[in-house]
Amino acid sequence: MSTSEPRAPFGARLRSAVADRGNLCVGIDPHPALLEAWGLSVDPAGVAEFSKRAMTAFGDLVPAIKPQVAFFEEHGSAGISLLEDLLVEITSSGALSVADAKRGDIGSTMAAYARAWLSEGSPLACDALTVSPYLGVGALDPAFDAAESTGRGLFVLARTSNPEAGRLQGSVGDDGTVAQSVVDEVGRRNRTSFGRGGGSFGVVVGATVADPPELDGLHGPVLMPGVGEQGGSLDDVRRIAGSVLPRTLVNVSRHVLRAGPDVDSMRNVVVDLNRQYRFDNAT
């Protein structure tokens, strides 16, 4: 991309993609058990074939695709190379890439993560990156700065649905729960950087949590895993998202991928889910 044609902010690009393709985000998670279930080898060749079939099945159907970075990293340099290729292919499909890396550190280390995932010219550059705020939201400043300057986005872990999360993320302090403080800080940054429209900084909130944070002040997108095999429903998504429903990406991975290895079967599942999870006209 030339310097004369800067990338539009992630928030704006996401709104356009959602209006065109609905609110579904599908993961590409080449878990060893899934590779074996598909009759593929648990090695880089199997990961490559898995990713190819997944992209053929739904690359042109959904607004966002979320590779789980760990399942590529475990295959070393060959796996990282496959992830680099996949990120390019996602862009070519017209979808936005959300790299599920959950990076979070301090100082120069966080800056290095930001350069790796959010800078122009990096082979791992994605449209949006998941990050962990539990060294402090302020520790993520290099990622916030890099994302804003390059038109990319972040999804900051706020209230996740894993059982171990509740005690930490639901802990109550002077300003409410830890999860709420994360949402409020991300919302403040959206207002500062993008005004009160649609910002590029989002949060991750699980669809199965009983005590979700209030999202009305986020002014940005929500990535909501936990739907399908993890037990979350359409009603849960509506209950938790509230007014930010049109900017919510409903993340479904295993429910789609377990329909494989047949490409048409996976595609049919995504088409059906797309009918259920489309909120661009929601009020």
Tens of pLDDT, residues 34-80? 999 999 999 999 999 999 999 999 999 999 999 999 999 999 999 99
Tens of pLDDT, residues 230-271? 788 999 999 999 999 999 999 999 999 999 999 999 999 999
Specify whether the CB–CB gap between 154 and 131 falls below 8 A. Answer: yes
Tens of pLDDT, residues 6-33? 789 999 999 999 999 999 999 999 999 9
**Token pair for 275:** 């009918």
Alpha-carbon distance of 56 to 59, in angstroms, equals: 6
Q: Per-residue DSSP letters for the chain?
A: --TTSPPPPHHHHHHHHHHHH-SEEEEE---HHHHHHTT--SSHHHHHHHHHHHHHHHTTT-SEEEEBTHHHHTTHHHHHHHHHHHHHHHHHHTPEEEEEEEE---HHHHHHHHHHHHSTT-TT--SEEEE--TT-GGGGHHHHHHHHHHT-EEEEEEE--STTHHHHHT-EETTEEHHHHHHHHHHHHHHHHHTTS--SEEEEE-TT-SSPPP-TT--S-EEE--BSTTSB-HHHHHHHHGGGGGGEEEEE-HHHHTT-S-HHHHHHHHHHHHHHS--TT--
Instruction: Say what the pLDDT of residue 47 is.
Output: 98
Instruction: Say what the pLDDT of residue 1 is.
Output: 44
Q: Pairing mode, if any, of strands 172-173 and 176-177? A: antiparallel
Specify whether the CB–CB gap between 227 and 251 falls below 8 A. Answer: yes
Alpha-carbon distance of 160 to 141, in angstroms, equals: 21
Virtual CA dihedral for 12, 18, 23, 27, nearest 10 degrees?
A: -80
Closest CA to 155 of 6, 263, 11, 7: 11
Instruction: Say what the pLDDT of residue 5 is.
Output: 65
Tens of pLDDT, residues 27-47? 999 999 999 999 999 999 999
Using the predicted structure, report yes or no on whether residue 4 has a pLDDT greater than 50: no
Record the pTM.
0.95
Instruction: Say what the pLDDT of residue 175 is.
Output: 77
Instruction: Say what the pLDDT of residue 281 is.
Output: 58
Using the predicted structure, report yes or no on whether residue 2 has a pLDDT greater than 60: no
What letter represents residue 45's amino acid? A
Instruction: Say what the pLDDT of residue 3 is.
Output: 46
Please give the mean pLDDT across all residues of the chain.
94
Active site residues: 102
Give the C-alpha distances (Å, rounded to integers) separating 127 from 71, 119, 174, 231.
19, 10, 35, 28
pLDDT-based confidence at residue 282 (cuts at 50, 70, 90): low
The domain covering 10-275 belongs, at the CATH homologous superfamily level, to: Aldolase class I (3.20.20.70)
